[in-house]
């Protein structure tokens, strides 16, 4: 009798495991059937890099404090005939509207980096919307161009943030190559970090006012061009529509 009971329980456990395996193998609107069946939501992720066979990368700068190196950054980009994406905080736009114009007129792309640079994963949906909408309005007032990209301060995000950004027609952009320029690394150290991590479809993170950014940028551009990479803005790289983002943040064309 005890053997029959144990055997019956074993059979039930095996059947449950089979059902879960089947549910995990089926996708419904980007979520597994198990997630739908058991009622839990997958953790969404932003775009860290792009799945591409092309030797193409994007350079991006976050701008929150200071602007004294920005004009020289634009000069170096122009020297190498490349563009980049600048993610601007709203109060930076308030302080440096002429520099915002200069970035735009240099042919570089501008995205939002929030309005006040908070940890937005700690905000409510309405607070997130206010941060994004306010910063977008400031940028668009200066440039007259639509803002379509967003980078979260500190790289901190959750589903509420990503959903709210999407409602505002923003793609949330992370990075897969961090120069760590804000730590005071030398230009050579920044370059070595990039060379050790870069690949097709990489998004490289830099900051507009780090100590050795000009030296680092120049070395990085020389290295990438020597390696045959095409360098441009984030929108030059990412897939505009009809795509998926896997759990590692890699954007794939459907």
Q: Give the pLDDT of residue 18.
A: 55
Can you spell out the DSSP letters for 159-186? HHHHHHHHHTT-EEB--SEE--GGGT--
User: Which CA distances in Å does 41 have to 30, 38, 98, 101, 171?
Assistant: 11, 9, 44, 41, 20
| Residue position matching structure tokens 């290295």 | 223
Reading phi first (left if > 0) and then psi (alpha if -120 to 50, else beta), residue 81 is in left
pLDDT of residue 39: 47
Domain-wise residue ranges, the chain:
2-38, 49-253
Query: pLDDT, tens digit, for every residue of 8-63?
Result: 665 555 555 554 454 444 443 344 434 434 445 688 999 999 999 999 999 999 99
Q: How far apart are CA 146 and CA 88, in angstroms?
A: 14
Given the DSSP bridges, would you call strands 250-253 and 243-245 parallel, antiparallel or unpaired?
antiparallel
Q: How far apart are CA 129 and CA 120, in angstroms?
A: 10
Record the pTM: 0.85
Burial environment of residue 192 by CB neighbours within 10 A (0 to 12, 13 to 18, 19 or more)? middle
Query: Would you give per-residue pLDDT tens digits along the chain (254 residues)?
Result: 544 444 566 555 555 555 445 444 444 334 443 443 444 568 899 999 999 999 999 999 999 999 999 999 999 999 999 999 999 999 999 999 999 999 999 999 999 999 999 999 999 999 999 999 999 999 999 999 999 999 999 999 999 999 999 999 999 999 999 999 999 999 999 999 999 999 999 999 999 999 999 999 999 999 999 999 999 999 999 999 999 999 999 999 99
Q: Which CATH architecture has domain 49-253?
A: Alpha-Beta Barrel (3.20)
């Amino acid at each position: 009798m005890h053997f029959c009971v144990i055997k019956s329980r074993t059979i039930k456990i095996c059947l449950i495991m089979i059902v879960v395996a089947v549910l995990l193998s089926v996708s419904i609107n980007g979520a597994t059937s198990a997630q739908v069946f058991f009622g839990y939501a997958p953790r969404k992720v932003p775009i860290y890099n792009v799945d591409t066979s092309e030797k193409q990368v994007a350079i991006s700068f976050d701008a929150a404090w200071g602007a004294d190196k920005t004009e020289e950054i634009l000069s170096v980009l122009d020297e190498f005939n490349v563009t980049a994406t600048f993610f601007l905080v709203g109060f930076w736009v308030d302080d440096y509207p002429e520099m915002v114009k200069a970035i735009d007129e240099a042919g570089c792309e501008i995205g939002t980096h929030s309005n006040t640079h908070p940890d937005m994963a700690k905000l409510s949906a309405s607070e997130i919307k206010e941060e994004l909408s306010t910063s977008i309005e400031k940028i668009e007032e200066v440039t007259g161009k639509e803002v379509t990209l967003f980078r979260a301060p500190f790289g901190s995000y959750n589903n509420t943030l990503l959903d709210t950004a999407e409602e505002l027609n923003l793609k949330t952009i992370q990075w897969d190559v961090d120069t760590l320029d804000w730590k005071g690394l030398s230009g050579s150290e920044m370059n070595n970090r990039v060379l050790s991590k870069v690949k097709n479809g990489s998004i490289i993170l830099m900051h507009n006012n780090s100590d050795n950014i000009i030296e680092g940028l120049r070395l990085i551009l020389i290295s990438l061009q020597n390696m045959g990479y095409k360098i441009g803005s984030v929108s030059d790289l990412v897939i505009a529509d009809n795509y998926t983002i896997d759990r590692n943040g890699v954007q794939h064309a459907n």
